[in-house]
Amino acid sequence: MTNGNGRTGLALIPRATAKQTLKDFKSDQEVRWCPGCGDYAILAAVQSFLPELGLKRENIVFVSGIGCSSRFPYYLNTYGFHSIHGRAPAIATGLAASRPDLSVWVITGDGDALSIGGNHLIHALRRNVNLNILLFNNRIYGLTKGQYSPTSEVGKITKSTPMGSLDKPFNPISLALGAEAGFVARTIDSDRKHLQSVLREATAHRGTSLVEIYQNCNIFNDGAFDALKDPELRDDITLRLEHGQPIVSASKAVRRAASGGIEVVDRAGLAEEEILVHDARNPDPSVAFALSRLDEPAFDHVPIGVFRAVERPAYDTLMARQLDEAIAERGPGQLSDLLTGGDTWRVG
Amino acid sequence: MTKQVQQLDRVIIRFAGDSGDGMQLTGDRFTAETAEFGNDISTLPNFPAEIRAPAGTLPGVSSFQLHFADHDILTPGDAPNVLVAMNPAALKANLGDLPPGADVIVNTDEFTKRNLQKVGYAASPVEDGSMEAWRVHAVPLTSLTVKSLEGFDISKKDAERAKNMFALGLLSWLYHRPTEATVKFLRAKFAKKPDIANANIAAFQAGWNFGETTESFSVSYEVKPARLTPGLYRNISGNQALAYGLIAASVQSKLPLFLGSYPITPASDILHELSKHKRFGIRTFQAEDEIAGVGAALGAAFGGALGVTTTSGPGVALKAETVGLAVATELPLLVIDVQRAGPSTGMPTKTEQTDLLMAMFGRNGESPLPIVAPATPSDCFDATLEAARLALKYRTPVMLLSDGYLANGSEPWRLPEVLELPDLTVDFTVEPNADDGETYLPFKRDPQTLARPWAVPGTPGLEHRIGGIEKAEGTGNISYDPNNHDHMVRVRQAKIDGIANDIPALEVDDPEGDARVLVLGWGSTYGPIAAAVRRVRKSGGKIAQAHLRHLNPLPVNTGDVLRAYDRVLLPEINLGQLALLLRARFLVDVISYNRVRGLPFKAEELAGVIQDVIDSE
């Protein structure tokens, strides 16, 4: 089932009749992130991507939590709900579950999604409500002025951890895969083309899609992803994940390891058939999980792209189906029948 | 053998046993039989939070009290006339509540040395002469049941488990209850296990026959049907009435109901009930936690649904931030708090009125919202409709304060005519509302109600953003302007305060108009207070009574009512929460009467307190 643009994820959402442009999605509000923030690039990428979907603008809703990234909805001329810290997936779940005709997006950050809202995130993923979750990961708390976050590396020196942070960070991709997510991807703020290609696949997926976007906070954690942007380094450390394609960087390749897992080795001298071919549609998430661990603990090899895109029924579809079945079995509910439905007796 | 039949005007029975003995079911069935017979009824289940506490111990005792009469009654009764005690623990836990002369039916099979020791009885109180103040009927219920089921192809354990139906049969004989519905009920309940169904029915009938033939009972009793207001009735618990109220609110508002909820005692039955009615287009969402429950409900409300969350006190505490978001975004939302004993986990199955101040003030910032409290189990239906009316009309979260006593208690409910239910239709905004004819101003208020417009996603041209950050009046854009904030704080308050003009005035019941003392109540204390007032008046005392349904805002005449009396007595199952509000607001020295035992007030107790205040005049 598609709505004419080939995306099952958008099948129930009404299409725009007129052609849309980037301008249609810009709100009249002045954008107020710090100059140089990676959020600007993501906003521009999303604004210029939305016309491609061809959806009625009024059927798009952006829901956010709290944090720098969560100001995002104010800058888009769609419906928007800037909520409270960590709760955006819960609020969006109620909205999407009751309104399958909406394209619902959640904008969140590493603190919002993985610390205070961690519970809602994992449950949204396992339920598979029709949501696109964009997780801006800058590995720091920005809005509260620079404390370490649940994705900060161990030993991070910040205002709240002058002797270094102690806790092991979450890997958002591993977490999402562990939470039964059907669609999991990673992209980066500075690569608009790649970012938009990931959004294209995320919106095609019906159910919850989680897109981790590496985003630079130039004030409190500048350069966190420089290795992926450095022309000298990036091609060697970036492992592009493309379904059906061998997983390689310029100099490295991924292959099955004798241990039973996977490993990154020099590409030179490696036979083509030894290189692992990416299968995003594999129902077994274990290879996707193994790929998500390749950048641990250092940023030596970083897979970028769609880790997993496996369709299963979306929660809102199943919920609507139960209502339809209940009505099909016994007809629509009648209030008078309900009230008199128990053991009744008449007086007088 | 023809036995003597004695006429009574009312009876209070308490069934008590181990939590595995099926006392709640027994009580429910006796209630159904009694309702069918046409008596007025009020019930009070009382059970431990543990699903199966250790057998035979005091913490494991579960009971069900039922008051039925040939006239209208207001409470489940203070003191039982009859106690059915299925084991020594049940006897010990309940004996203190029995007035002298009451009938006690004990299951002597369970009065073994070991069971007696478990609860600290050195000897059986049935035999040691310590129960001479009561009329004791020693009945070996278990062995009689097992004996009556000889020849049935069931295990001994299953046979023993039917003893509650034997007891029900005996009590049904004793009070001339109709039995057909119970037989039908058992057939349906055990439809998949016909052997068990037949055994239970046989035990039930054996209990009846035992009553007729045994010499242990020389008298049976008749309580004539009550003369209630004509109409069609059913028996209903507070939680069920509340669930039906939500369904009715959905039908009357033509909005799909979305319930976001996390299981919690004593509110879970509302979730259970609503999840059975999907053919009304109801979506029930069992969330990962309390916060997600209210969050999803608020998200659904943003999308144009009737958003509801149901919980108890600990859940309200967790939901506070999201309720504050609903205050700030001015979206309709129903927050149902079935109060229970606190603080913290407290006593989950016991009742209390201790969340009033949390409902009033339990959020950061100036965060006013309307509060409505039902007075009786069946009133939960009407109070829910009223809460929905306020939420939808004023675009605000509304707190509905039920409690464990209302939730699980039941009474006959005269069914309303669907056509007479209030129309809750909502007009969504579908066109620009600014003077320029092009712009949508999400915070441009209705001059009368001060409610903001409600435009839902999917409406073209009205795309807008809302959130928890302070908004500019009109546009809803983020605003840190000091004067705007002051204005918004005041206008949100004024919106809620203005509801006072849209609710009924506080009515006073003062038949002769010469009472100088007023007894005031709110919520579930209505029954015990009204019953106490009757007693006082019967003995010649002059007392006026008023009951608050709207706790915020209060009816416009509240201050006048309070000041019209020399003394105002306010019984509450808390340490004086409404009293605090009334004293602060009206400078009236309200006399608080407080008991926080996890149990409803007793009418006799309140009658004494009222009389004392009258006498001190």
**For position B500, what pLDDT does the model report?**
98
Average the pLDDT over each of A188-197, B27-36, B276-285, B511-520 and give the range with the smallest value. B27-36
**For position B139, what pLDDT does the model report?**
96
- Has residue B93 got a pLDDT over 80? yes
- Rounded to a whole number of angstroms, the distance between the first and last alpha carbons of chain B is 58
Q: Which among B228, B232, B302 is the nearest to A95, CB-wise?
A: B302
> CA-to-CA distance for B373 and B359, rounded, in angstroms?
11
Q: Mean of the pLDDT values across residues A291-319?
A: 93
Q: What is the DSSP string of A150-207?
A: TTSPTT--BTTBTT---SPPP-HHHHHHHTT-SEEEEEETT-HHHHHHHHHHHHHSSS
- Has residue B256 got a pLDDT over 60? yes
> CA-to-CA distance for B587 and B580, rounded, in angstroms?
10
**For position A2, what pLDDT does the model report?**
47
Cβ–Cβ gap B415/A340 under 8 Å = yes
List the 177-196 stretch of B: residues with Cβ below 8 A of A.
181
Whether the complex's predicted ipTM surpasses the cut of 0.95: yes
> How far from the centroid of its chain's Cα atoms is residue B425's Cα?
28
- Domain B234-420 identical in fold to domain B508-616: yes
Cβ–Cβ under 8 Å, residues B256 and B282: yes
- Distance from the B368 Cα atom to the nearest Cα atom in chain A, whole angstroms: 18
Chain A positions in Cβ-Cβ contact with residue B461 (cut-off 8 Å): 58
CB of B224 within 8 Å of a chain A CB? The answer is: no
Q: Mean of the pLDDT values across residues A224-240?
A: 94
**For position A234, what pLDDT does the model report?**
93
Locate B507 and state its tokens.
């009515």
Does domain B234-420 fall under CATH 3.20.20.70? My reply is: no
CB of B442 within 8 Å of a chain A CB? The answer is: no
Closest chain A CA to residue B307: A94
Percent of chain B with pLDDT over 90: 95
DSSP state at residue B58: G
**For position A5, what pLDDT does the model report?**
52
Which backbone phi and psi does A310 adopt, to 5 degrees?
-120, 125
What's the pLDDT tens digit per position in A193-225? 999 999 999 999 999 999 999 999 999 999 999
**For position B518, what pLDDT does the model report?**
98
Chain A positions in Cβ-Cβ contact with residue B278 (cut-off 8 Å): 322-323, 325-327
- Has residue B412 got a pLDDT over 80? yes
**For position A57, what pLDDT does the model report?**
97
Number of A/B CB contacts below 8 angstroms equals 210
Cβ–Cβ gap B232/A346 under 8 Å = yes
List the 277-296 stretch of B: residues with Cβ below 8 A of A.
277-283, 285, 287-289, 291-292, 295-296
Task: CATH number for B508-616: choose from 3.40.1280.10, 3.40.980.10, 3.40.50.1000, 3.40.50.920.
Answer: 3.40.50.920
- Distance from the A265 Cα atom to the nearest Cα atom in chain B, whole angstroms: 42
CB of A98 within 8 Å of a chain B CB? The answer is: yes
Cβ–Cβ gap B299/A339 under 8 Å = no
**For position B124, what pLDDT does the model report?**
95
pTM: 0.94
- Has residue A298 got a pLDDT over 60? yes
**For position A7, what pLDDT does the model report?**
67
CB of B204 within 8 Å of a chain A CB? The answer is: no
Chain B positions in Cβ-Cβ contact with residue A78 (cut-off 8 Å): 463
Cβ–Cβ under 8 Å, residues B86 and B107: yes
Percent of chain B with pLDDT over 70: 100
- Has residue B51 got a pLDDT over 80? no
What's the pLDDT tens digit per position in B545-569? 999 999 999 999 999 999 999 999 9
Q: Mean of the pLDDT values across residues A223-247?
A: 95
Locate A113 and state its tokens.
């999604």
What's the pLDDT tens digit per position in A53-111? 999 999 999 999 999 999 999 999 999 999 999 999 999 999 999 999 999 999 999 99
Cβ–Cβ gap A59/B283 under 8 Å = no
Q: Mean of the pLDDT values across residues B323-350?
A: 97
Domain ranges of chain B: 4-223, 234-420, 427-502, 508-616
What's the pLDDT tens digit per position in B474-487? 999 999 999 999 99
Closest chain A CA to residue B466: A81
Gyration radius from chain B CA atoms: 27
Cβ–Cβ gap B460/A57 under 8 Å = yes
Cβ–Cβ gap B467/A120 under 8 Å = no
Closest chain B CA to residue A58: B458
Chain A positions in Cβ-Cβ contact with residue B459 (cut-off 8 Å): 58
Does domain B4-223 fall under CATH 3.40.50.300? My reply is: no
Q: Mean of the pLDDT values across residues B198-206?
A: 97
- Has residue A127 got a pLDDT over 70? yes
List the 540-559 stretch of B: residues with Cβ below 8 A of A.
none
Average the pLDDT over each of A291-305, B300-314, B362-376 and give the range with the smallest value. A291-305
Q: Is A73 left (phi over 0), alpha (psi -120 to 50) or beta?
A: alpha
Buried b (16+ CB within 10 A) or exposed e, A206-244: bbbbbbbbbbbbbbbbeebbebbbeeeebebbbbebeee
What's the pLDDT tens digit per position in A4-54? 455 677 889 999 999 999 999 999 999 999 999 999 999 999 999 999 999
DSSP state at residue B347: B
CB of B313 within 8 Å of a chain A CB? The answer is: no
> How far from the centroid of its chain's Cα atoms is residue A275's Cα?
28
Cβ–Cβ gap A345/B322 under 8 Å = no
- Has residue B417 got a pLDDT over 90? yes
Q: Mean of the pLDDT values across residues A305-311?
A: 97
What's the pLDDT tens digit per position in B446-502? 999 999 999 999 999 999 999 999 999 999 999 999 999 999 999 999 999 999 999
